[in-house]
Amino acid sequence: MLNYCTFCWETIVNLSIILISLYLLHGMPRSKSSNRWLKEHFDDVFVKKAQAEGYRSRAVYKLKEIDEKEHLIKPGMTIVDLGAAPGGWAQFVVQKVRGNGTIVALDLLPMDELPGVNFIQGDFREEDVLQQLINLIPKRGLDLLLSDMAPNMSGSRIVDIPKAMYLAELAFDFGDTMLKTGGAMLIKIFHGVGFDNLIKLARQRFDKVVIRKPMASRSRSHETYMLAKGYNL
């Protein structure tokens, strides 16, 4: 069943890319920005690498790079993955825990089934969805919180950054409630309003807090990742 679902997902994604590209190329006047996006996407080494290695998204290489340096993911862990769809990070986590661990993924968007992953589709900001997530994790039993959540971007920093940081703060609050002593979190954050305050708060709770910008993050993007290790209750 997994192979079928994965094949369907990959086929849909590939067809969608082709159709969107044809529409942009032939169905409407092309702006400089659309030309640049198309060229960047199809020339992207991480897109090509993800397709070749069977990952669902290029974003997996952000987590992979950080994990190779920090050794975050180990067998036996309880891990939550927020903003999980289409499932690239969850795929990598499954590989790392090697069948020994609890993995819960959540996203507003649908995600194809992954063996070993409990998936919740819903809005993390809604109480009933949050409760579903909490019910799958022992209180203070979380080893690692991963969050790649981001809002739909409008292109306006004044609008986008506060919305993105709000999601980051929600993820942090969840981790602050559920992490066990010594636990860790990796959260996507954006430079702008709220950035310094969140870093300051994290340093009050964790032994080590650093900012990482993986190679797979696009250079023009304001996204970075806050890595916090050694949680103190």
Say which amino acid occupies 136: L
Cβ contacts of 101 within 8 Å, gap of 6 or more:
75, 76, 77, 78, 79, 116
Cβ contacts of 51 within 8 Å, gap of 6 or more:
none
Q: State both tokens at 117.
A: 């992953």
Cβ contacts of 3 within 8 Å, gap of 6 or more:
none
Is residue 229 part of the annotated active site? The answer reads no
CA atoms within 13 A of residue 179's CA, in its CB half-sphere:
24
Question: The tokens 């006047």 sit on which residue?
Answer: 29
Closest residue by Cα to residue 172 from 141, 191, 137, 197: 197
User: Which one is catalytic: 188, 208, 213, 229?
Assistant: 188
| DSSP-assigned beta bridge partners for residue 186 | 146, 227
Q: How far apart are CA 168 and CA 189, in angstroms?
A: 6
**Peptide bond between residue 86 and the one before it cis (omega within 30 degrees of 0):** yes
Among all residues, which ones are annotated catalytic? 188
